[in-house]
Amino acid sequence: MKISDKIRYVGMNDRQTVLFEHQWPVPEGVSYNSYLVVDEKIALIDTAAAAFKDEFLSNIKEEIGDRKIDYLVVNHMEPDHSALQAVIRNEYPDCTIVTNAKAVPMIEGYQGLTDNIKVIKEGESLSLGGTTLQFYMIPMVHWPETMVTWCPEEKTAFSGDAFGCFRAVPEGCLVDGFVDFKEEMTRYYASIVGKYGQTVQAALRKVSPLGIERICPTHGPVWEKDIPEVVGWYDRLSAAKLERGVTIAYGSMYGNTAKAAQAIAQELENKGITVKLHDLCEENYSYALADVFLYDTLIVGSPTYNAGIFPPVQSFMEALKARGVKNRRFAAFGSYTWAGMSVKLLNALAAEMQFESVHEGLSFAQGYSSDKFNASEIVDLLI
Ligand code: FEO
């Protein structure tokens, strides 16, 4: 597919995979984006996932026929983008791999390739004829070897995972409205890149002055029309610029903690507060994570299970911790049968993450009733 005279899309949509990275649901698919820059010399920017070998090679041939690929630029070594490097080298034996020093051992480790690798440094350029590629390191967005390839003549940033999102791309790869992809970009960011907010901020400071007019990420649409919105949204997510609103995330074994969650949500709605309710037993926790990256308050509910936190809720809390999430207003609630522990343990985890406790937590024994559980005790403190 033609992005411009010089830039061609040779990636593909994956509508078969149920769980990206074997953990994140992709009900609307995901794309593995790869690009050719076609000039006197031809550069391929990243490859694709292993399952798409034939489609990938066919897409390349469709764009360049019998011409050869001169350079394979490796921006990122995660196997959703790097799995076909050896295939490319086999098909185009003279192609030079262009990458930075940190990627070199990974290329050997994953693909067994050690020869004809050109190691470039920050800011270095590579001429393809009329067009140039320049390389800027953006370590930990989201692996240490990650870099952006910038084509100044096309004002195009090949940004790797940065500005990526879940969802298959439409024909032509361009979209009119960022709004259609916003939710899946947020969930992608929270799930995959969320731990690295500070390095994303550093990367934004580095690439913003380039005067970008086109972003070609490794997942999701090519961005042209909505660049200020896309860059602004990434800035917001990575700088944790939070909206006033409440994420309620809970797990429930027999429905009692669920009823308490619904009571809190109802109270919040009655008071006009934005509330997002997530049942961690019914949906993947990435959906709740996405809202934690948007809203300033988190309320977590769990029954006591084996004198601890119910495992689906424990996993969610550990996911927050792993991403370095902090500075949220927090309260816990939950049910128990003979010894209530979950609220105490949730509060301890929240304290580790430097959350601000807005309430000591509400728990109740056995079955839910509004007499035992007064949701407004928490809600009144949030207003
Ligand atoms: Fe899409 Fe970090 O790989």
Residue keyed to tokens 């969610």:
316
Which CATH code, of 3.30.565.10, 3.60.15.10, 3.30.930.10, 3.90.1150.10, is assigned to 7-238? Answer: 3.60.15.10
* Burial grade of 20 (CB within 10 A; 0-12, 13-18, 19 or more): buried
Ligand 1 contacts CB of residue 278 (under 6 A): no
Ligand 1 contacts CB of residue 145 (under 6 A): no
Where in the chain are the domains? Answer: 7-238, 244-379
Topology given in CATH for the domain delimited by 244-379:
Rossmann fold (3.40.50)
- 383 CA distance to ligand 1 middle (Å): 40
Fold equal for 7-238 and 244-379: no
pLDDT (tens, 9 = 90+) of the chain, 383 residues, equals: 999 999 999 999 999 999 999 999 999 999 999 999 999 999 999 999 999 999 999 999 999 999 999 999 999 999 999 999 999 999 999 999 999 999 999 999 999 999 999 999 999 999 999 999 999 999 998 899 999 999 999 999 999 999 999 999 987 777 777 888 999 999 999 999 999 988 989 889 988 899 999 999 999 999 998 899 999 999 999 999 999 999 999 999 999 999 999 999 999 999 999 999 999 999 999 999 999 999 999 999 999 999 999 999 999 999 999 999 999 999 999 999 999 999 999 999 999 999 999 999 999 999 999 999 999 999 998 87
Contact 95, 69 (CB under 8 A): yes
- 239 CA distance to ligand 1 middle (Å): 21
Q: Which residue minimizes the CA distance to atom 3 of ligand 1?
A: 78
Ligand 1 contacts CB of residue 76 (under 6 A): yes
Q: Which atom of ligand 1 is nearest to the CA of 146?
A: 2
- 39 CA distance to ligand 1 middle (Å): 27
Supply the pTM of this predicted model.
0.94
Under DSSP, the state recorded for 99 is: E
- Helix, strand, coil shares of the chain, percent, nearest 5, are 35, 25, 40
- 143 CA distance to ligand 1 middle (Å): 8
Ligand 1 contacts CB of residue 14 (under 6 A): no
Contact 300, 249 (CB under 8 A): yes
